[in-house]
Amino acid sequence: MNQLHYPKPGKAMMAARRAAFDTPNRPQDFDHELFRSQEIFVASSDLHGERRSLLVNRIVDNLSTGPEGRGIGYCLLRGFSYFMSIEETRAASIVLLNAAWKRFRSRSPRISPSRDFRILESITHDGAIPTELFGSRWSFKPPHADCNSVLFAHVYGPTLGFDGGDVLLIDALAYAASRNLDFGDVCQWSSDAGDKKPVLRAAHVQPALDGYGRRLGRLGPDEMLFVNNGCDGVFHGASEVVVRDDNDFVRVLHRCVAMERGSEAS
């Protein structure tokens, strides 16, 4: 069984991320219109019973890129603020990510059954993130992939007192393939201690965003963003934030991450 694109954490994951660029594996051409228009408006009834199962299917369809699927690598759900508090939306994201991860994994024969994953939940407050965690007080970063998680779900909010901070998604693999570029041409490794993240080089951010990405804008309590962060998935990032009011600034990010046990530190 070929496990090249879902290897164990650490150095093997870094090698696999490089290999995903250098030996492209997508069965279909990039669909520009599909990538830019993809989102699902949800109602409270979508979170229960058979309708929840259908919603999870749609999320996984979107997240499953080639070679197993024909999705685009992300799924943006909207509409939660009409019927839920932010706390309830965060809780729902854990339930949905758990279900989506089980279904995603069942469709991915390259992930060995012997491997042990779990869902981790965290909340970060921008401007107050301990620097020992990510090297910065801020979560705003150029487009990149996280080290070792496969899928994640983000819920933002509350958000107040700043401009910028638009969430960005880029299909860096499609961009590199379109220009016949390899990993080293378009990416550099982050300066984190331990395992490194692939980060899109500054010169490629705008052309990749224009041609193979989407600026989602500032996300808040109405949205839930699912991303395939695996080696065949998409890069994520955020535009720079400009704090308007130091006394009234808040940007909270709730994350759930499907991550292999033993790789939690990265």
- Residue placing its CB nearer to Fe ion in the complex, 89 or 190: 190
The distance of closest approach from Cβ of residue 144 to Fe ion in the complex, given in angstroms and rounded to an integer, is 6
* Cβ contacts of 98 within 8 Å, gap of 6 or more: 119
The distance of closest approach from Cβ of residue 134 to Fe ion in the complex, given in angstroms and rounded to an integer, is 9
- Residue placing its CB nearer to Fe ion in the complex, 126 or 146: 146
Residue 213 CA, distance from chain mean position: 13
The distance of closest approach from Cβ of residue 126 to Fe ion in the complex, given in angstroms and rounded to an integer, is 13
The distance of closest approach from Cβ of residue 229 to Fe ion in the complex, given in angstroms and rounded to an integer, is 8
Q: How many CB atoms lie within 10 A of CB 201?
A: 15
**Where do runs of H (alpha helix) occur along the chain?**
11-22, 32-37, 49-63, 86-106, 131-134, 172-178, 183-186, 202-212
Peptide linkage before 7 cis (omega within 30 of 0): no
- Residue placing its CB nearer to Fe ion in the complex, 64 or 124: 124
Rounded Cα–Cα distance for residues 196 and 84 (Å): 37
- Residue placing its CB nearer to Fe ion in the complex, 84 or 239: 239
Give residue number: closest CB to Fe ion. 146
Give residues in contact with Fe ion (CB under 5 A): 146
- DSSP secondary structure of 41-68: E--GGGGSHHHHHHHHHHHHHHH--TTT
- Residue placing its CB nearer to Fe ion in the complex, 46 or 232: 232
